[in-house]
């Protein structure tokens, strides 16, 4: 009889331990909920950082392209015909006698850099067009010996924490013919 009671107790304890209580299930659900919220926040932060980095790269590429074109043409220019009062436009005479301009224009609320009538920056990038900061010149009497160019831009497709202003600077030393 004692053996029979032991078998019953073993069977009873196995049957009782086979499932989870409601409290245990709720604790596991709460732990997984907290872990999933933390993982979602980490993923969202990572994606914001990635979009911000891509935005900065796009703006920098646009500004650097415009700067390279400006540097190349201004370095080999025979003459610069701009004054300090007109610092949003540079008029120059190229090495072959052709006259052209670089200007900082505004279309609506979006600024961009143009060479003659062609855009040098994308329509997805806003270039800050300020008479004081976009083009500042170091003039000597007659033709300037150097031109300091400062370009600032931001991505129009980014908002909030993803947007960032990028600034590049260059000093173009002019050739003396």
Q: Which two tokens stand for residue 11?
A: 């069977």
pLDDT digits (tens, 9 = 90+) for 94-137: 888 888 888 888 877 788 888 887 888 888 888 876 433 234 34
Whether this prediction's pTM lies above 0.75 is answered by no
- The fraction of the chain above a pLDDT of 90, given in percent, is 19
83 vs 113 pLDDT, higher one: 113
Q: Are 39 and 97 in contact (CB under 8 A)?
A: no
User: Mean per-residue pLDDT for 78-99?
Assistant: 74
* Cβ neighbours of residue 2 closer than 8 Å, sequence gap 6 or more: none
């Amino acid at each position: 009889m004692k053996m029979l009671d032991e078998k019953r107790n073993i069977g009873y304890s196995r049957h009782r331990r086979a499932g989870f209580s409601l409290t245990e299930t709720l604790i596991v659900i709460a732990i997984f909920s907290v872990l999933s919220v933390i993982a979602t926040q980490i993923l969202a932060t990572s994606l914001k950082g990635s979009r911000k980095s891509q935005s900065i790269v796009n703006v920098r590429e646009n500004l650097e392209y415009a700067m390279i074109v400006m540097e190349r043409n201004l370095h080999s220019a025979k003459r610069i015909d701009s004054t300090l009062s007109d610092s949003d436009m540079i008029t120059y005479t190229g090495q072959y006698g052709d006259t052209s301009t670089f200007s900082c224009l505004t279309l609506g609320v979006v600024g961009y850099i143009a060479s003659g009538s062609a855009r040098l920056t994308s329509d997805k990038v806003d270039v800050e067009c300020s008479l004081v900061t976009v083009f500042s010149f170091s003039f000597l009497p007659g033709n300037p010996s150097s031109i300091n160019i400062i370009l600032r831009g931001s991505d129009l497709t980014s908002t909030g924490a993803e947007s960032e202003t990028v600034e590049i600077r260059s000093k173009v030393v002019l050739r003396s013919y």
